[in-house]
Amino acid sequence: MTRPILLLLLVLTLWSCGDQTDQKTEEDAAMTTEAAGDSLRYEQESHLRNIRQLTFGGDNAEAYFSFDNSKLVFQATNPAWGAACDQIYYMSTGGFTGDHPKMLSTGKGRTTCAFFMPGDETILYASTHGEEEACPDAPRTLNGKYVWPVFPTFDIYVADLNGEIVKQLTNEAGYDAEATLSPDGTKIVFTSDRSGDLELYTMNIDGTDVHQVTDSLGYDGGAFFSPDGTKLVWRASRPKTDEDIKVYKDLLAQGMVQPTLMEIYVANVDGSNVRKVTSLGKANWAPFFHPSGEKLIFSSNHHSPEGGRPKFNLFSINLDGTGLEQITFDDVFDAFPMFSRDGKQLVFASNRHNGGTHDTNLFIADWVE
């Protein structure tokens, strides 16, 4: 009896030691992952933990979560991927394998602003490929002014995850783009100049029942729904002086806008109860609702020193304009934030840790309240 008992004790001891070793290995791995994430995080970024870099080179932006939080769809310019100008790609939230992620756009023209449709088997995006296969010219300056092109050949399409166009949702003359989806998957909000100005519109996901939401002079764009689907948040310019109005209209007639003075607005989905949330000056843009629906996260350069290099960081603010808080602290550029649908993660674009290049990469982080 003594020998079997000794053998049993030996086995139990070995098993116990093995379990402790496995546990320690897992803990070490977790600590290593957290340390790597912290190496991408600035010390002041108390709301972010375990930052992971998802792309490495090129110009990557506007990454948005699928309904099940497992995938991201985004736009990228990267000649190494065969994308001379912005094309639409998707990947898992853990990144991609191989030389590049899967392209979902046609590879023709220029694209922008992709978003997952209900079921995560199709995506929404805008493209110029219906009118021109080559990348349209995209000037960044005009007469010394920094500008964004507003291509009149943009229309909104739905494609499957094999990159096949399923449906064209808009066919109006002029700019139709910047489309995003309501949380319940029934409504789309987008920007169009069909009225002669850049306004917000909503429509059903099949392209029917189009309603104009905004009607004030200026660029209304980059809209997103609140978590409960009752409100919209967006960026807007509001030229007031005769000179500013003339500049805005002249640029728009040439298919351009000057995005250097924008503020964040909120309204009900039907356009009622419009509220200006920020009055910070300079460029405040790329807003997105916090999971609580009670505050926003957005990008701003309002804190950049006058005459110095513009610096964009993420900030949060309550819907009533109080409680402004700086979230990121990169020296160059942080923008395009989106919370996962469960509110546990934040994805954003940044110039951080790019080796002094102009590369803008995608990062994902755990969100800490």
- What's the pLDDT score for residue 21? 44
Residue of 222, 202, 221, 225 lying closest to 212 (CA atoms): 202
Please say whether the beta carbons of 71 and 91 come within 8 A.
Answer: yes
Q: Write out the E strands in 26-149.
A: 48-53, 59-65, 71-78, 83-92, 102-103, 111-116, 122-127, 141-142, 145-146, 148-149
Which residue segments constitute the domains of the chain, with CATH numbers given? 47-367 (2.120.10.30)
How far apart (Å, rounded) are the C-alpha atoms in residues 278 and 317? 8
What is the model's pTM? 0.90
- What's the pLDDT score for residue 34? 52
> Amino acid letter at 334?
D
- What's the pLDDT score for residue 143? 85
- What's the pLDDT score for residue 196? 97
How far apart (Å, rounded) are the C-alpha atoms in residues 150 and 174? 9
- What's the pLDDT score for residue 2? 40
- What's the pLDDT score for residue 37? 56
How far apart (Å, rounded) are the C-alpha atoms in residues 280 and 157? 35
**Which residues lie across from 53 on neighbouring strands?**
363
- What's the pLDDT score for residue 35? 53
How far apart (Å, rounded) are the C-alpha atoms in residues 174 and 291? 34
> Which residues have CB under 8 Å from 362's CB, separation 6+?
53, 54, 55, 60, 61, 63, 72, 74, 347, 348, 349
Q: What is the pLDDT along the chain (369 residues), one digit of tens a residue?
A: 444 433 333 333 333 334 444 444 445 444 444 555 589 999 999 999 999 999 999 999 999 999 999 999 999 999 999 999 999 999 999 999 999 999 999 999 999 999 999 999 999 999 999 999 999 999 899 988 899 999 999 999 999 999 999 999 999 999 999 999 999 999 999 999 999 999 999 999 999 999 999 999 999 999 999 999 999 999 999 999 999 999 999 999 999 999 999 999 999 999 999 999 999 999 999 999 999 999 999 999 999 988 777 899 999 999 999 999 999 999 999 999 999 999 999 999 999 999 999 999 999 999 999
